[in-house]
Amino acid sequence: MTPLSPVEWAVVALSLKVSGVAIALVLPVSFGLAWLLERTRIPGKVVLDALVHLPLVLPPVVTGWLLLLAFGANGPAGRFLHDAFGITLMFRWTGAALAAAVMALPLMVRAIRLSLEGVDRRLEVVARTLGAGPWRTFFSVTLPLAMPGVLAAMVLGFARSIGEFGATITFVSNVPGETRTLPLAIYTALQVPGSEAAVTRLALISVALSLAALVASEWLTRRGKNGGRRHVL
Amino acid sequence: MSFDIDIAIHRGGKRIAARIESASRVVALFGPSGAGKTSILQMIAGLLPPESGHIVISGEVLFDSTAGIDVPPEKRACGYVFQDGRLFPHRRVRENLLYGWKLAPPERRWMALDVAVGFLGIAHLLDRMPGTLSGGEAQRVAIGRALLSGPRFLLMDEPLSSLDAARRHEIMLLIERIRDEMEIPILYVSHDRSEVERLAGTVIDVG
Protein backbone atom coordinates (compact mmCIF):
# COMPACT_ATOMS: atom_id res chain seq x y z
CA MET A 1 0.00 0.00 0.00
CA THR A 2 1.20 3.50 -0.78
CA PRO A 3 2.09 5.79 2.11
CA LEU A 4 -0.04 8.77 3.07
CA SER A 5 -0.04 11.76 0.77
CA PRO A 6 0.78 15.22 2.20
CA VAL A 7 -2.91 16.11 2.05
CA GLU A 8 -3.79 13.00 4.04
CA TRP A 9 -1.11 13.77 6.62
CA ALA A 10 -2.61 17.25 6.93
CA VAL A 11 -6.00 15.65 7.57
CA VAL A 12 -4.53 13.53 10.40
CA ALA A 13 -2.73 16.54 11.87
CA LEU A 14 -5.93 18.61 11.72
CA SER A 15 -7.89 15.83 13.42
CA LEU A 16 -5.34 15.63 16.23
CA LYS A 17 -5.36 19.42 16.65
CA VAL A 18 -9.16 19.64 16.70
CA SER A 19 -9.47 16.78 19.20
CA GLY A 20 -6.65 18.05 21.40
CA VAL A 21 -8.22 21.50 21.68
CA ALA A 22 -11.66 19.95 22.19
CA ILE A 23 -10.44 17.90 25.14
CA ALA A 24 -8.54 20.80 26.70
CA LEU A 25 -11.74 22.82 26.40
CA VAL A 26 -14.11 20.20 27.75
CA LEU A 27 -11.97 18.72 30.54
CA PRO A 28 -12.49 21.46 33.16
CA VAL A 29 -16.17 21.70 32.22
CA SER A 30 -16.66 17.93 32.54
CA PHE A 31 -14.84 17.85 35.86
CA GLY A 32 -16.99 20.65 37.22
CA LEU A 33 -20.19 18.97 36.04
CA ALA A 34 -19.08 15.57 37.38
CA TRP A 35 -18.35 17.19 40.73
CA LEU A 36 -21.73 18.93 40.81
CA LEU A 37 -23.52 15.69 39.99
CA GLU A 38 -21.51 13.47 42.32
CA ARG A 39 -20.64 15.58 45.31
CA THR A 40 -23.23 18.31 45.77
CA ARG A 41 -26.87 18.52 46.60
CA ILE A 42 -28.20 21.05 44.16
CA PRO A 43 -31.81 21.35 43.05
CA GLY A 44 -32.53 20.25 39.49
CA LYS A 45 -29.77 17.65 39.42
CA VAL A 46 -31.94 15.26 37.40
CA VAL A 47 -32.45 17.91 34.74
CA LEU A 48 -28.75 18.78 34.66
CA ASP A 49 -27.87 15.11 34.37
CA ALA A 50 -30.26 14.72 31.44
CA LEU A 51 -28.90 17.83 29.68
CA VAL A 52 -25.33 16.56 30.04
CA HIS A 53 -26.32 13.26 28.46
CA LEU A 54 -28.32 14.82 25.62
CA PRO A 55 -25.49 14.80 23.01
CA LEU A 56 -25.10 11.07 23.65
CA VAL A 57 -28.64 10.24 22.55
CA LEU A 58 -29.60 13.07 20.18
CA PRO A 59 -28.99 12.52 16.47
CA PRO A 60 -25.60 14.25 15.99
CA VAL A 61 -27.10 16.26 13.14
CA VAL A 62 -29.52 17.82 15.64
CA THR A 63 -26.66 18.67 17.99
CA GLY A 64 -24.89 20.29 15.04
CA TRP A 65 -28.00 22.24 14.14
CA LEU A 66 -28.41 23.44 17.74
CA LEU A 67 -24.77 24.57 17.71
CA LEU A 68 -25.51 26.39 14.46
CA LEU A 69 -28.45 28.16 16.09
CA ALA A 70 -26.39 29.19 19.12
CA PHE A 71 -22.95 29.84 17.62
CA GLY A 72 -23.81 30.73 14.02
CA ALA A 73 -23.36 34.25 12.68
CA ASN A 74 -26.81 35.23 13.94
CA GLY A 75 -26.86 33.05 17.05
CA PRO A 76 -26.63 34.80 20.43
CA ALA A 77 -23.41 33.03 21.51
CA GLY A 78 -21.88 33.41 18.03
CA ARG A 79 -22.61 37.12 17.94
CA PHE A 80 -21.23 37.60 21.44
CA LEU A 81 -17.98 35.78 20.62
CA HIS A 82 -17.61 37.83 17.44
CA ASP A 83 -18.33 41.22 19.02
CA ALA A 84 -16.42 40.68 22.26
CA PHE A 85 -13.39 38.67 21.12
CA GLY A 86 -13.48 38.74 17.32
CA ILE A 87 -13.85 34.95 17.27
CA THR A 88 -15.81 33.24 14.50
CA LEU A 89 -16.53 29.54 14.73
CA MET A 90 -18.42 29.07 11.48
CA PHE A 91 -16.50 27.05 8.86
CA ARG A 92 -13.41 27.18 11.09
CA TRP A 93 -11.46 24.42 12.80
CA THR A 94 -12.32 26.05 16.15
CA GLY A 95 -15.96 25.31 15.41
CA ALA A 96 -15.05 21.69 14.68
CA ALA A 97 -13.30 21.61 18.06
CA LEU A 98 -16.44 22.96 19.76
CA ALA A 99 -18.60 20.31 18.09
CA ALA A 100 -16.15 17.58 19.11
CA ALA A 101 -16.07 18.93 22.66
CA VAL A 102 -19.86 18.89 22.98
CA MET A 103 -20.03 15.34 21.68
CA ALA A 104 -17.28 14.18 24.06
CA LEU A 105 -18.84 15.88 27.09
CA PRO A 106 -21.29 13.16 28.22
CA LEU A 107 -18.69 10.40 27.97
CA MET A 108 -16.17 12.40 29.95
CA VAL A 109 -18.63 13.47 32.64
CA ARG A 110 -19.66 9.85 33.11
CA ALA A 111 -16.09 8.59 33.37
CA ILE A 112 -14.94 11.35 35.73
CA ARG A 113 -18.02 10.89 37.87
CA LEU A 114 -17.23 7.21 38.24
CA SER A 115 -13.67 7.99 39.26
CA LEU A 116 -14.88 10.51 41.87
CA GLU A 117 -17.35 7.95 43.16
CA GLY A 118 -14.43 5.54 43.61
CA VAL A 119 -12.51 7.91 45.88
CA ASP A 120 -12.73 6.74 49.48
CA ARG A 121 -14.16 9.79 51.20
CA ARG A 122 -12.95 8.60 54.57
CA LEU A 123 -9.45 9.44 53.36
CA GLU A 124 -10.58 13.03 52.83
CA VAL A 125 -11.77 13.04 56.43
CA VAL A 126 -8.33 11.87 57.55
CA ALA A 127 -6.71 14.74 55.66
CA ARG A 128 -9.00 17.24 57.39
CA THR A 129 -8.09 15.92 60.85
CA LEU A 130 -4.40 16.18 59.89
CA GLY A 131 -4.72 19.90 59.26
CA ALA A 132 -5.63 20.14 55.57
CA GLY A 133 -8.37 22.59 54.57
CA PRO A 134 -10.93 21.63 51.92
CA TRP A 135 -8.80 22.82 48.97
CA ARG A 136 -5.62 21.13 50.11
CA THR A 137 -7.63 17.97 50.76
CA PHE A 138 -8.93 18.15 47.21
CA PHE A 139 -5.52 18.60 45.61
CA SER A 140 -3.57 16.20 47.82
CA VAL A 141 -6.09 13.38 48.27
CA THR A 142 -9.19 13.54 46.05
CA LEU A 143 -7.58 14.57 42.78
CA PRO A 144 -4.59 12.17 42.90
CA LEU A 145 -6.91 9.28 43.78
CA ALA A 146 -9.30 10.20 40.95
CA MET A 147 -6.47 10.89 38.49
CA PRO A 148 -6.29 7.53 36.67
CA GLY A 149 -10.03 7.79 36.01
CA VAL A 150 -9.72 11.38 34.82
CA LEU A 151 -6.91 10.42 32.43
CA ALA A 152 -8.97 7.50 31.15
CA ALA A 153 -11.84 9.92 30.59
CA MET A 154 -9.55 12.21 28.59
CA VAL A 155 -8.36 9.37 26.37
CA LEU A 156 -11.91 8.18 25.81
CA GLY A 157 -13.09 11.71 25.03
CA PHE A 158 -10.17 12.17 22.65
CA ALA A 159 -11.09 9.01 20.76
CA ARG A 160 -14.71 10.16 20.56
CA SER A 161 -13.58 13.55 19.20
CA ILE A 162 -11.39 11.94 16.52
CA GLY A 163 -14.43 10.05 15.28
CA GLU A 164 -16.87 12.96 15.41
CA PHE A 165 -18.78 13.39 12.14
CA GLY A 166 -22.46 14.38 12.20
CA ALA A 167 -22.41 17.44 14.44
CA THR A 168 -19.21 18.69 12.80
CA ILE A 169 -20.41 18.51 9.19
CA THR A 170 -23.73 20.11 10.14
CA PHE A 171 -22.19 22.90 12.19
CA VAL A 172 -19.00 23.84 10.30
CA SER A 173 -19.44 22.01 6.98
CA ASN A 174 -16.68 20.14 5.13
CA VAL A 175 -13.98 22.69 4.35
CA PRO A 176 -10.67 21.18 3.12
CA GLY A 177 -7.79 22.06 5.42
CA GLU A 178 -10.08 23.74 7.93
CA THR A 179 -12.88 21.44 9.08
CA ARG A 180 -12.24 18.30 7.02
CA THR A 181 -11.15 15.95 9.79
CA LEU A 182 -10.50 12.24 9.40
CA PRO A 183 -14.12 11.01 9.19
CA LEU A 184 -15.10 13.88 6.89
CA ALA A 185 -12.13 13.13 4.64
CA ILE A 186 -13.15 9.46 4.47
CA TYR A 187 -16.72 10.47 3.65
CA THR A 188 -15.47 12.85 0.94
CA ALA A 189 -13.18 10.21 -0.60
CA LEU A 190 -16.06 7.75 -0.66
CA GLN A 191 -17.97 10.14 -2.94
CA VAL A 192 -15.17 10.01 -5.53
CA PRO A 193 -14.97 6.88 -7.71
CA GLY A 194 -11.60 5.09 -7.70
CA SER A 195 -10.36 6.38 -4.35
CA GLU A 196 -10.62 3.07 -2.49
CA ALA A 197 -6.92 3.14 -1.58
CA ALA A 198 -7.23 6.56 0.07
CA VAL A 199 -10.32 5.43 1.98
CA THR A 200 -8.50 2.32 3.17
CA ARG A 201 -5.47 4.28 4.36
CA LEU A 202 -7.55 6.83 6.28
CA ALA A 203 -9.82 4.15 7.71
CA LEU A 204 -6.83 2.15 8.95
CA ILE A 205 -5.52 5.23 10.71
CA SER A 206 -8.92 5.68 12.35
CA VAL A 207 -8.93 2.08 13.53
CA ALA A 208 -5.38 2.39 14.89
CA LEU A 209 -6.12 5.62 16.77
CA SER A 210 -9.34 4.27 18.26
CA LEU A 211 -7.76 0.99 19.32
CA ALA A 212 -4.82 2.76 20.93
CA ALA A 213 -7.20 5.02 22.84
CA LEU A 214 -9.34 2.15 24.09
CA VAL A 215 -6.32 0.15 25.23
CA ALA A 216 -4.85 3.19 26.97
CA SER A 217 -8.13 3.97 28.66
CA GLU A 218 -8.55 0.40 29.87
CA TRP A 219 -4.97 0.32 31.14
CA LEU A 220 -5.44 3.57 33.07
CA THR A 221 -8.67 2.33 34.62
CA ARG A 222 -7.03 -0.90 35.78
CA ARG A 223 -4.04 0.95 37.16
CA GLY A 224 -6.39 3.22 39.07
CA LYS A 225 -8.08 0.24 40.69
CA ASN A 226 -4.77 -1.12 41.99
CA GLY A 227 -3.28 2.21 43.06
CA GLY A 228 -6.45 3.36 44.75
CA ARG A 229 -6.87 0.12 46.63
CA ARG A 230 -8.86 0.73 49.74
CA HIS A 231 -7.15 -1.99 51.67
CA VAL A 232 -5.00 -0.36 54.29
CA LEU A 233 -5.04 -2.96 57.05
CA MET B 1 -8.93 19.71 83.28
CA SER B 2 -8.07 17.67 80.18
CA PHE B 3 -11.61 17.20 78.93
CA ASP B 4 -14.70 19.30 79.48
CA ILE B 5 -17.25 18.04 76.99
CA ASP B 6 -21.03 18.05 76.94
CA ILE B 7 -22.56 17.35 73.56
CA ALA B 8 -25.66 15.80 72.04
CA ILE B 9 -26.96 14.92 68.61
CA HIS B 10 -29.84 12.97 67.08
CA ARG B 11 -28.98 10.36 64.50
CA GLY B 12 -31.52 8.04 62.99
CA GLY B 13 -34.11 8.90 65.61
CA LYS B 14 -31.70 8.12 68.44
CA ARG B 15 -30.19 10.60 70.85
CA ILE B 16 -26.44 10.33 71.24
CA ALA B 17 -25.01 12.32 74.11
CA ALA B 18 -21.77 12.48 76.03
CA ARG B 19 -20.72 14.32 79.12
CA ILE B 20 -17.06 14.11 79.92
CA GLU B 21 -15.41 16.08 82.71
CA SER B 22 -12.11 14.59 83.58
CA ALA B 23 -8.53 15.45 84.35
CA SER B 24 -7.33 11.93 83.56
CA ARG B 25 -4.64 11.50 80.95
CA VAL B 26 -6.75 8.80 79.30
CA VAL B 27 -10.53 8.90 79.21
CA ALA B 28 -12.28 5.87 77.75
CA LEU B 29 -15.67 5.80 76.09
CA PHE B 30 -17.00 2.34 76.66
CA GLY B 31 -20.09 0.78 75.14
CA PRO B 32 -21.45 -1.75 72.68
CA SER B 33 -21.24 -1.34 68.90
CA GLY B 34 -23.82 1.06 67.54
CA ALA B 35 -24.03 3.05 70.76
CA GLY B 36 -22.70 6.16 69.03
CA LYS B 37 -19.12 6.17 70.29
CA THR B 38 -17.72 7.00 66.86
CA SER B 39 -20.27 9.81 66.42
CA ILE B 40 -18.99 11.33 69.66
CA LEU B 41 -15.40 11.24 68.42
CA GLN B 42 -16.51 12.76 65.11
CA MET B 43 -18.20 15.62 66.93
CA ILE B 44 -15.04 16.23 68.96
CA ALA B 45 -12.90 16.17 65.81
CA GLY B 46 -15.22 18.68 64.13
CA LEU B 47 -16.46 16.24 61.49
CA LEU B 48 -20.03 16.22 62.74
CA PRO B 49 -21.67 19.31 64.25
CA PRO B 50 -23.29 18.71 67.66
CA GLU B 51 -26.79 20.08 68.07
CA SER B 52 -25.89 21.68 71.37
CA GLY B 53 -23.29 21.84 74.08
CA HIS B 54 -19.59 22.58 74.33
CA ILE B 55 -16.22 20.96 73.73
CA VAL B 56 -13.27 22.26 75.72
CA ILE B 57 -9.99 20.35 75.69
CA SER B 58 -7.00 21.44 77.80
CA GLY B 59 -8.65 24.82 78.25
CA GLU B 60 -9.16 25.39 74.51
CA VAL B 61 -12.74 25.97 73.35
CA LEU B 62 -13.33 23.97 70.16
CA PHE B 63 -17.10 24.18 70.09
CA ASP B 64 -19.69 26.17 72.01
CA SER B 65 -23.21 26.34 70.67
CA THR B 66 -24.23 29.31 72.85
CA ALA B 67 -21.13 31.37 71.97
CA GLY B 68 -21.32 30.35 68.30
CA ILE B 69 -17.83 28.83 68.30
CA ASP B 70 -17.16 25.97 65.90
CA VAL B 71 -13.48 25.46 65.05
CA PRO B 72 -13.09 23.66 61.68
CA PRO B 73 -11.54 20.17 61.86
CA GLU B 74 -8.23 21.19 60.30
CA LYS B 75 -7.69 23.79 63.06
CA ARG B 76 -8.56 21.52 66.01
CA ALA B 77 -5.18 19.73 66.11
CA CYS B 78 -6.62 16.40 67.05
CA GLY B 79 -4.61 13.29 66.34
CA TYR B 80 -7.32 10.93 65.13
CA VAL B 81 -6.39 7.23 64.99
CA PHE B 82 -9.02 5.23 63.13
CA GLN B 83 -10.03 1.65 63.57
CA ASP B 84 -8.92 0.77 60.04
CA GLY B 85 -5.68 2.76 59.77
CA ARG B 86 -6.79 4.74 56.73
CA LEU B 87 -3.36 5.44 55.32
CA PHE B 88 -3.25 7.38 52.07
CA PRO B 89 -2.84 4.56 49.52
CA HIS B 90 -1.12 6.76 46.94
CA ARG B 91 1.68 7.97 49.22
CA ARG B 92 4.61 6.11 50.71
CA VAL B 93 4.81 5.54 54.46
CA ARG B 94 7.23 8.45 54.88
CA GLU B 95 4.85 10.81 53.08
CA ASN B 96 1.93 9.53 55.12
CA LEU B 97 3.87 10.24 58.31
CA LEU B 98 4.84 13.73 57.19
CA TYR B 99 1.44 14.74 55.79
CA GLY B 100 0.20 16.39 58.98
CA TRP B 101 3.69 17.37 60.16
CA LYS B 102 4.19 19.59 57.12
CA LEU B 103 0.82 21.26 57.66
CA ALA B 104 1.34 21.94 61.38
CA PRO B 105 2.82 25.31 62.34
CA PRO B 106 6.45 24.73 63.44
CA GLU B 107 5.80 25.69 67.09
CA ARG B 108 3.16 22.96 67.38
CA ARG B 109 5.40 20.12 66.13
CA TRP B 110 6.41 18.46 69.36
CA MET B 111 7.78 15.31 67.77
CA ALA B 112 10.38 14.85 65.03
CA LEU B 113 10.15 12.21 62.32
CA ASP B 114 13.18 10.20 63.52
CA VAL B 115 11.90 10.20 67.11
CA ALA B 116 8.49 8.93 66.03
CA VAL B 117 10.01 6.34 63.71
CA GLY B 118 12.26 5.06 66.50
CA PHE B 119 9.46 5.03 69.03
CA LEU B 120 7.16 3.03 66.75
CA GLY B 121 9.89 0.79 65.29
CA ILE B 122 8.92 1.50 61.66
CA ALA B 123 12.26 2.63 60.17
CA HIS B 124 12.26 -0.32 57.76
CA LEU B 125 8.81 0.62 56.41
CA LEU B 126 9.47 4.22 55.36
CA ASP B 127 9.74 3.61 51.63
CA ARG B 128 6.91 1.10 51.39
CA MET B 129 3.45 1.74 49.94
CA PRO B 130 0.61 1.31 52.45
CA GLY B 131 -0.97 -1.49 50.40
CA THR B 132 2.01 -3.72 51.21
CA LEU B 133 1.84 -3.32 55.00
CA SER B 134 0.36 -5.81 57.45
CA GLY B 135 -2.42 -4.70 59.80
CA GLY B 136 -0.11 -4.11 62.76
CA GLU B 137 2.41 -2.20 60.63
CA ALA B 138 -0.29 -0.01 59.13
CA GLN B 139 -1.69 0.83 62.56
CA ARG B 140 1.78 1.82 63.81
CA VAL B 141 2.17 4.14 60.84
CA ALA B 142 -1.31 5.56 61.45
CA ILE B 143 -0.42 6.30 65.09
CA GLY B 144 2.85 7.89 63.94
CA ARG B 145 1.03 10.05 61.42
CA ALA B 146 -1.33 11.28 64.14
CA LEU B 147 1.51 12.01 66.63
CA LEU B 148 3.57 13.85 64.01
CA SER B 149 0.71 16.20 63.09
CA GLY B 150 1.43 18.08 66.32
CA PRO B 151 -1.85 17.19 68.03
CA ARG B 152 -3.05 18.77 71.27
CA PHE B 153 -5.05 15.61 72.04
CA LEU B 154 -5.51 12.13 70.62
CA LEU B 155 -8.75 10.47 69.58
CA MET B 156 -8.45 6.70 69.27
CA ASP B 157 -11.36 4.83 67.76
CA GLU B 158 -10.98 1.12 68.58
CA PRO B 159 -7.40 1.09 67.28
CA LEU B 160 -6.93 -2.58 68.25
CA SER B 161 -10.15 -4.10 67.03
CA SER B 162 -9.02 -5.14 63.55
CA LEU B 163 -5.76 -6.74 64.75
CA ASP B 164 -4.89 -10.28 65.85
CA ALA B 165 -4.03 -10.98 69.49
CA ALA B 166 -0.25 -10.63 69.17
CA ARG B 167 -0.47 -7.34 67.24
CA ARG B 168 -3.06 -6.11 69.68
CA HIS B 169 -0.67 -6.63 72.55
CA GLU B 170 2.13 -4.75 70.78
CA ILE B 171 -0.02 -1.76 69.91
CA MET B 172 -1.46 -1.73 73.45
CA LEU B 173 2.08 -1.44 74.85
CA LEU B 174 2.71 1.47 72.47
CA ILE B 175 -0.43 3.26 73.56
CA GLU B 176 0.55 2.79 77.22
CA ARG B 177 3.93 4.33 76.48
CA ILE B 178 2.24 7.28 74.76
CA ARG B 179 0.11 7.71 77.88
CA ASP B 180 3.08 7.48 80.25
CA GLU B 181 5.76 9.33 78.29
CA MET B 182 3.93 12.03 76.36
CA GLU B 183 2.00 14.96 77.77
CA ILE B 184 -1.09 14.49 75.69
CA PRO B 185 -4.68 13.76 76.69
CA ILE B 186 -6.21 10.72 75.01
CA LEU B 187 -9.84 9.89 74.38
CA TYR B 188 -10.04 6.17 73.77
CA VAL B 189 -13.07 4.37 72.37
CA SER B 190 -13.57 0.65 72.85
CA HIS B 191 -16.15 -2.07 73.36
CA ASP B 192 -13.60 -4.21 75.22
CA ARG B 193 -13.82 -3.89 79.01
CA SER B 194 -10.31 -5.21 79.69
CA GLU B 195 -8.67 -2.74 77.27
CA VAL B 196 -10.48 0.14 78.84
CA GLU B 197 -9.67 -0.84 82.43
CA ARG B 198 -6.04 -1.32 81.60
CA LEU B 199 -5.62 2.05 79.91
CA ALA B 200 -7.97 4.64 81.24
CA GLY B 201 -8.15 6.76 84.36
CA THR B 202 -11.79 7.58 83.67
CA VAL B 203 -14.35 5.37 81.98
CA ILE B 204 -17.52 6.85 80.52
CA ASP B 205 -20.32 4.46 79.62
CA VAL B 206 -22.08 5.18 76.33
CA GLY B 207 -25.40 3.71 75.30
Note the ipTM here: 0.93
* pLDDT at residue A233 greater than cutoff 60: no
How far is Cα B192 from Cα B199, in angstroms, rounded to an integer? 11
Min Cα–Cα distance to chain B from A31, Å: 21
The CATH number for A84's domain is 1.10.3720.10
Asked if A144 and B90 come within 8 Å (Cβ–Cβ), the reply is yes
How far is Cα B76 from Cα B57, in angstroms, rounded to an integer? 10
* pLDDT at residue A231 greater than cutoff 60: no
pLDDT of residue A164: 94
The residue extents of the domains of chain B are: 3-205
pLDDT of residue B108: 92
Backbone angles phi, psi at A117, to 5 degrees: -60, -35
**Helical H segments across chain B, by residue range:** 37-45, 93-103, 113-120, 135-148, 165-181, 193-199
Counting the structural domains of chain A, the total is 1
Q: Which of B103, B107, B111, B143 best tests the A interface by mutation, with the highest count of A CBs <10 A?
A: B103
The mean predicted confidence, pLDDT, of chain B is: 93
- Residue A174 binned pLDDT confidence (cut-offs 50, 70, 90): very high
pLDDT of residue A216: 85
Residues facing residue B63 across a β-bridge = B55, B70
How far is Cα A145 from Cα B91, in angstroms, rounded to an integer? 10
Of all residues in chain B, the percent with pLDDT exceeding 70 is 100
Mean pLDDT for B22-33 is: 90
Q: Are β-strands B3-11 and B78-81 bridged in parallel, bridged antiparallel, or unpaired?
A: unpaired
Of B77, B85, B88, the CB nearest to A141: B88
Min Cα–Cα distance to chain A from B133, Å: 7
Mean pLDDT for B172-182 is: 94
How far is Cα A49 from Cα A232, in angstroms, rounded to an integer? 34
B25 touches chain A (CB under 8 A): no
* pLDDT at residue A227 greater than cutoff 60: no
Contact residues, chain A, for B84 at CB < 8 Å: 232-233
B50 touches chain A (CB under 8 A): no
Asked if A129 and B86 come within 8 Å (Cβ–Cβ), the reply is no
A122 touches chain B (CB under 8 A): yes
Mean pLDDT for B21-47 is: 92
Residue of A nearest to B150 (CA): A130
Flag whether A193 is in a domain. yes
Flag whether A231 is in a domain. no
A133 touches chain B (CB under 8 A): yes
Of A132, A141, A229, the CB nearest to B74: A132
Mean pLDDT for B181-201 is: 91
Flag whether A20 is in a domain. yes
Q: How far is CA B204 from CA B64, B118, B201, in A?
A: 21, 33, 10
- Residue A132 binned pLDDT confidence (cut-offs 50, 70, 90): very high
Contact residues, chain B, for A149 at CB < 8 Å: none
pLDDT of residue A220: 80
Flag whether A233 is in a domain. no
pLDDT of residue A171: 95
Of A130, A144, A230, the CB nearest to B149: A130
- pLDDT for A74-100, tens place per residue? 889 999 998 899 888 989 999 999 999
What superfamily does domain B3-205 belong to in CATH? P-loop containing nucleotide triphosphate hydrolases (3.40.50.300)
Contact residues, chain A, for B48 at CB < 8 Å: none
Mean pLDDT for B139-168 is: 94
Min Cα–Cα distance to chain B from A141, Å: 8
* pLDDT at residue B177 greater than cutoff 80: yes
Range of the domain at A43: 6-225
Asked if B85 and A232 come within 8 Å (Cβ–Cβ), the reply is yes
Asked if B74 and A141 come within 8 Å (Cβ–Cβ), the reply is no
The mean predicted confidence, pLDDT, of chain A is: 90
Contact residues, chain A, for B78 at CB < 8 Å: 129
pLDDT of residue B13: 85
Of B99, B130, B133, the CB nearest to A130: B99
- Residue A228 binned pLDDT confidence (cut-offs 50, 70, 90): very low
Flag whether A230 is in a domain. no
Q: CB of B61 within 8 A of CB of B69?
A: yes
Mean pLDDT for B138-155 is: 96
- pLDDT for A27-55, tens place per residue? 999 999 999 999 999 999 999 999 999 99
Mean pLDDT for A142-156 is: 92
Q: To 10 degrees, what angle do helices A6-39 and A182-191 make?
A: 130
pLDDT of residue A87: 86
Torsion angle defined by CA atoms of residues B176, B179, B181 and B185, in that order, rounded to the nearest 10 degrees? 170
Q: Which of A192-201, A222-231, B7-16, B172-181 has the lowest mean pLDDT?
A: A222-231
A146 touches chain B (CB under 8 A): no
- Residue A225 binned pLDDT confidence (cut-offs 50, 70, 90): low
- Residue A224 binned pLDDT confidence (cut-offs 50, 70, 90): low
- pLDDT for A98-126, tens place per residue? 999 999 999 999 999 999 999 999 999 99
**Residue A105, SS3 per DSSP:** helix
